[in-house]
Structures are given as structure tokens and as C-alpha cells.
Structure 1
Amino acid sequence: MATPLSLDILGIGNAIVDVLARADDAFLAAQGMTKGAMALIDTERAERIYAAMAPGVENSGGSVANSCAVAAALGAKVGYLGKVADDPLGAVFRHDITAIGAHFPTAPLVGGAPTARCLILVTPDGQRTMNTFLGACVTFGEQDLDQDAIAAAKVTYLEGYLFDPPAAQAAFHRAARIARAAGRRVAISLSDPFCVGRHRAAFRDFVRNEADILFANEHEVTALYEVASFEEAVELAAKDVSFAALTRSEKGSVVVESDKRVAVAAQPTKLVDSTGAGDAYAAGFLAALTRGKPVEECGRWGSIAAAEVISHFGARPQADLKALIGI
């Protein structure tokens, strides 16, 4: 497949197959999990948790891949770079990402670690606790960048979870240089406060010097800047990037553009499963931004997309997002 002449969004992230199952707090405690957090696990722990889980639903996932699916549902032209193995789960992921219309040129890993999977336990309050076996994801590096796709995308969107492997960090910096040289924008999601804690200095440097757009929730952005209040974090983010979209769950979000601060209300919905809320918000925001919409509208699209995703089990949209937004 030839590289498309143009893309709205090119996502780069961990290509993961999600396994979602319901669980109670007692199960999390018995497994030694921190509720609401994402933990990186090895093969042995992955097998042990999987064996103990209730029957689950398997879907292609990964934070930025979820964003690409939501953005595609909103009519955006999307591409995706991420490493899967040459195995059955890798084939499932490739089928799913291309079925949404995404350009996915990354070659599979042959003879190495298996395709990544994330074991997601959803408690009755809708909180999700994630246990991630990264597998083939950690081999993603500069050799997997598609320079033509990066240069063709209005926004290259980078997943903070992928910051863990050093090779991926190097790939992020190179991707940002390629995008900026082509006059394009670079967006990054902080993904998880524990991820921020592991790589705070590197994240701060990247956000300040490479990124144009920052996505984070309240906990992530305060962890990034090591401040106690959300308001302080908002002001610091405004100095580092052209746009910051900072989410606060039921309190909605704050979108920052230069000296402008826009409060965006959360959309009313019933919380069933919070998996993918931030991914959907970022997708709605970027889908609107790449259409030239003002930041107020970008935030509205993001909020509507997030509300749809958390109203059901799983991180991919089930309703007609275009109809919900009115496009």
C-alpha cells in the first residue's frame, strides 16, 4: 500500500491487544494491584493474572491506537506506527487497525517477543486497572519510523506509554524533528502519572522543546511539573506548548492556547468503563483541530467522544460520533 498523500493524524504508540474483564476490589487486592494504575508486567505475571481473570473481551488497543480509531470514526484520515509480532495476536491487531481505514506500514517483528497485551480489570465503579505485557512493543525504534507518513501528517501524535524503552525515546525525538522540518505539529500524551514519574526530566525536555500540543489529565500534569495545584500546572504548561488540553474527569477539561484558558464542561453520561476516556478526548480534539476548528470546539468534540467511550465496555466507539457531535 502506498503512503497516502496526506494524513490528518499519525499516531505512534504501543500496539497492544486489550483483554477486558470485570473484577471487584478484592480481586485487585489479592493480585497486589494498585487500583486505577497501569503496571508493566513480565510474561509469568501476565499468564498468572490471565488465568485468574473472569472471562474477558479481546480487542485491539493501545492508547494512541484507540485515539486513531475514534478520530477515524470522526472522519479524520489516520495512520499508525507501532510494533506487533508475526503471530496470531499481531494479525488481529493489524486487521483491526487497517479495518478502520488506518495506514499501518510498520513491519512485524519476526522471531522475537510476542505481540503485547494489556489485561484490564474494570471494577463496578467504572475504574480500570491495567497490567501491561509489552512484548514486541519494546523493539520499536527509529528504524520503524515512516518518514513519508510523518511528513504527510498534520499532527504526529506520540504516546507517553511508549517512553519507557530508550529506543522509542530516540524514535520520538527523530519523529518530532521530521514533523517539524515538514512544517507539521507534534502532540504528546503523558498517558499515566507513574510513567511521568519514571521519566519526568525526559518528558519535561520533550514537552518544552519538541511538542506543540500536550494532552494530560490532572494527575499527570501536576506530576510532570511537580506542583500541588492544577492551576499552577496549567500556567506552566502554557509556557511550554502552543496548545494544552488538560482533563479533569467529571469536572471537564481546560484547554490552553497562548493566554486563552477555555473551560470545557464534561458531557453527561453514565460511567460504565473509563478505559480509553483520555484517548477518545485527544482524538476528538485533534480531529477538530486538524479541520481548523477553534479550541472551544476542539474541546467540545473531545468531551463528546470521551463521554461516548466511557458509557460502555471497551475503548472503541460504538455509537455514531459524527451524529453526536453534529457533523
Structure 2
Amino acid sequence: MYDVMAVGNALVDYEFVLTDAALEETELTKGNMTLVSLEEQQQVLAFLKLANIKLSKKAGGGSAANTMFAFASLGGKPFYACRVGDDEQGLFYLKDLNEAGVATSKQSIHAGGVTGSCVVAVTEDGERTMQTYLGTSSDITSDNVDFDALTQADWLYIEGYLAMSESIQPAMTQLRQQAGIHNAKIAVSFADPAVVKFAKEGLLNMLGNKVEVIFCNSEEARLFTEKKQIKAAARALLDYCQIAVVTDSANPTIIAYKSEQTKEVGFYEVTTPTVAHVTDTNGAGDNYAGTFLYALSQQYSLPECGRLAGEVSAQVIQQFGPRLSSQDYKDIAHRVLTV
């Protein structure tokens, strides 16, 4: 049995720290994710090497994978479906997840495929800008998804980046249908403003008639709902879900919810922990979603879910890389949930 089954893009992260001026030379849009070809990925890596900008960290990444890493580290039982090549990076990627307690399947390995990669450019203000080569992950299909795992899960979690993949859309429909048959609740993360800008139709397909939870930040919420105020945007998201969780950088997180019994709408504002210095925002939203979902699966209240998720994300942005150590997650949960 699993607490959650997740589906996402499998990417190995290559993190670099650089100045705003150097980032400008890459022509990437600061704070956003850009999809590129293998040649374009090699070009930016060549530029960074020529500029003597050294690799800060190599780690398993991918939005939903980061989310499941946090979920597993807190004590949950997740299953992760993805697509990697049978190359060194793909084997590294799956081994990294398995050692953290995230179950995977051999269906995720595609013979002859090239495992995807993500160049994460972190500027001095801690903002992360990403350039992604999806590799074989871009061709993820129903063949890479172990649908049997969903029959054993209470939740289905889908990362928004998959909205950009046409090949996965039939599987999305199949997953939603199977989740309904087996009474699994669905959670969707919007993942990045670029997803909402360029793949809203794919997002709508993920959401279907309605899901249980949507995770997004304030920019994504405003883009999706076309509402200027964050609270109005959160309320508008309830047309697509029962619970909308909208983070807003250092400002309080807005949790909007609709009562299943009375259909009334309510809001919680959860204070975001103060952080003296932001080192790297890569993975902050992924960890927030994973932590929140774990606490929700353990029947904690929505404010408690938000407080724990906020504390984990605050710790993540004070270090390099999208994941904490497994012990760090447990220590934060012990501190926050036993108060």
C-alpha cells in the first residue's frame, strides 16, 4: 500500500551560482523555466564552463520527485512514476529516490533513452532560473506508468510540468478515471508560471471536473484565474478544487477551502517563517507541496499542514539544492507538530 502515487518529469539537476549579469548573458527569463533541445542545453553548459562558473551541486531533481522525497523523508510511503534512460544518469536518479524510500518501477526505464537534465541558475538573491532538457522524459506515456500502484494509493499527485507533454495526456485521463474508481484523491501542482502561460489547456485536462488540492504560488494563481488579488485568485481556484494552497514568497500563504457539507468558502492565512538570507529557492514549492500533502494524509488540520510546509520550505531556501537530509525533515516535523 502507498499513501500517494506521483507522476512527473525525471531530471538530474545541475546547479550553478552566478551573477545577474551572467544570467542575462544566457538570455534566460529570470525566475522561470525554459524548455530547450539537447543542443541548447549543451550550449548553456559550454557558456558556464567558458565563464569559469563551476558546478555547485548535482542532484536528482524534477518537481514531483522532490515532492515525493519530502513526503518519504517525513515517514510517508510514496510511489513515483517517470521515464529515464538506461544511462548512468537514469540509474543514478532512480537509486537516489529508492534510497530515500520512494518506490519506483522498471517501467520507468526506457532502453536507449537519454535522461533529462535541468540547469538551475541561482543568482545572488537566491532566485532560481531553470533551463530544462526533458530528454526521454518528454516521451513519457502510459507504458511508463504502473497503474496498479494507483489502486494501492490514497492520493494521486501530478506535477504541472506534465501539462507541456502531449504524450502523457491520454495517461492523465486514464489516471483520473482510475483515481475515481479507487477513491484516490487528486492533488495538482501548477509548478511554474511558464506552465500556466503556455500549457493551460494541459493543466485543465489534469484538473478534469475537479481535484482535491491545487498547489501554486501567487503569480501562477493570478495568471490562471486572471484575478489581481491573491485572495480572490485563491477563491476562484475553488471552481477546480476543494482546497487551494497559494504561497506568496515571504507573505502569508493563503489556504482557501470549500466545505463538502455546507459548500461555504473559508480561508486560512498561514504566516511564512522569517528567513535572514535566501540562498537558493530551487525546490521550495516542491517541498511545500510534499510536506503539506504528507501532513494532510496524516489528518492534520489545514493550518498545521501550512505551518509544517512553511518551516520545511524556509529551511530549503537557506541551502543549495532542492532537498534536505531525511533527518532534517523529521527534526522539523518533530519541532512543529509537537508544539
Fold agreement, TM-score > 0.5: yes
Instruction: Specify the code of the residue in structure 2 equivalent to 1:322.
Output: K
1:36 aligns with 2:44: no
Which stretch shows the higher mean deviation, 204-213 or 270-279? Answer: 204-213
Partner SS for 1:209 = coil
1:325 aligns with 2:333: yes
- Offset at 1:208? 5.3
Partner SS for 2:154 = strand
Question: Is contact 1:245–1:254 with CA below 8 Å preserved after alignment?
Answer: yes
| Aligned equivalents of 1:257, 1:307: Cα separation in 2 | 24
Instruction: Specify the code of the residue in structure 2 equivalent to 1:17.
Output: V
Cα gap change, 1:137 to 1:277, in 2 (>3 Å): same
- Offset at 1:226? 2.0
| Aligned equivalents of 1:226, 1:171: Cα separation in 2 | 29
Q: How does 1:224-235 map to 2 (within 5 A)?
A: 224-235=224-235
1:306 aligns with 2:307: no
Partner of 2:54: 55
Q: Cα deviation per residue 1:190-249 (whole Å; 9 max; x = unaligned)?
A: 111111111223423543514221000001111111222222211111232111111101
Instruction: Specify the code of the residue in structure 1 equivalent to 2:74.
Output: L
Instruction: Specify the code of the residue in structure 2 equivalent to 1:108.
Output: I
After superposing on structure 2, the runs of 4+ consecutive aligned residues of structure 1 that deviate more than 4 Å are none
Partner SS for 2:288 = helix
Which stretch shows the higher mean deviation, 260-269 or 86-95? Answer: 260-269
Structure 1 unpaired stretches of 5+: 1-5
Structure 2 unpaired stretches of 5+: 259-264
Identity, % of aligned pairs?
A: 30
- Offset at 1:73? 1.2
Partner SS for 1:158 = strand
Partner of 2:266: 260
| Aligned equivalents of 2:204, 2:5: Cα separation in 1 | 22
Question: Is contact 2:210–2:239 with CA below 8 Å preserved after alignment?
Answer: no
| Aligned equivalents of 1:208, 1:301: Cα separation in 2 | 29
Instruction: Specify the code of the residue in structure 2 equivalent to 1:261.
Output: F
1:297 aligns with 2:304: yes
CA root-mean-square deviation? 1.4
| Aligned equivalents of 1:236, 1:308: Cα separation in 2 | 30
| Aligned equivalents of 1:207, 1:130: Cα separation in 2 | 25
1:276 aligns with 2:283: yes
| Aligned equivalents of 2:307, 2:172: Cα separation in 1 | 28
Partner SS for 1:267 = coil
- Offset at 1:275? 0.4
Question: Is contact 1:161–1:192 with CA below 8 Å preserved after alignment?
Answer: yes
| Aligned equivalents of 2:233, 2:208: Cα separation in 1 | 13
| Aligned equivalents of 1:208, 1:107: Cα separation in 2 | 25
Question: Is contact 1:243–1:255 with CA below 8 Å preserved after alignment?
Answer: yes
Question: Is contact 2:169–2:205 with CA below 8 Å preserved after alignment?
Answer: no
| Aligned equivalents of 1:191, 1:68: Cα separation in 2 | 14
| Aligned equivalents of 1:201, 1:120: Cα separation in 2 | 26
- Offset at 1:147? 1.6
Q: Cα deviation per residue 1:20-77 (whole Å; 9 max; x = unaligned)?
A: 0101111111111111110001111111111222221110000010011111111111
Question: Is contact 2:253–2:306 with CA below 8 Å preserved after alignment?
Answer: yes
Question: Is contact 2:64–2:286 with CA below 8 Å preserved after alignment?
Answer: yes
Partner SS for 2:157 = strand
Which stretch shows the higher mean deviation, 33-42 or 235-244? Answer: 235-244
1:146 aligns with 2:146: yes
1:104 aligns with 2:104: yes
Question: Is contact 2:69–2:100 with CA below 8 Å preserved after alignment?
Answer: yes
Partner of 1:71: 71
| Aligned equivalents of 1:290, 1:52: Cα separation in 2 | 44
> May I ask how many residue pairs the two structures share in their alignment?
321
Question: Is contact 1:285–1:298 with CA below 8 Å preserved after alignment?
Answer: yes
| Aligned equivalents of 1:9, 1:252: Cα separation in 2 | 27
Instruction: Specify the code of the residue in structure 2 equivalent to 1:39.
Output: T
Question: Is contact 1:203–1:224 with CA below 8 Å preserved after alignment?
Answer: no
Partner of 1:3: none
Which stretch shows the higher mean deviation, 102-111 or 10-19? Answer: 102-111
Cα gap change, 1:205 to 1:142, in 2 (>3 Å): closer
Partner of 1:170: 170
Q: What TM-score do the two structures reach when normalised by structure 1?
A: 0.95
Q: What TM-score do the two structures reach when normalised by structure 2?
A: 0.91
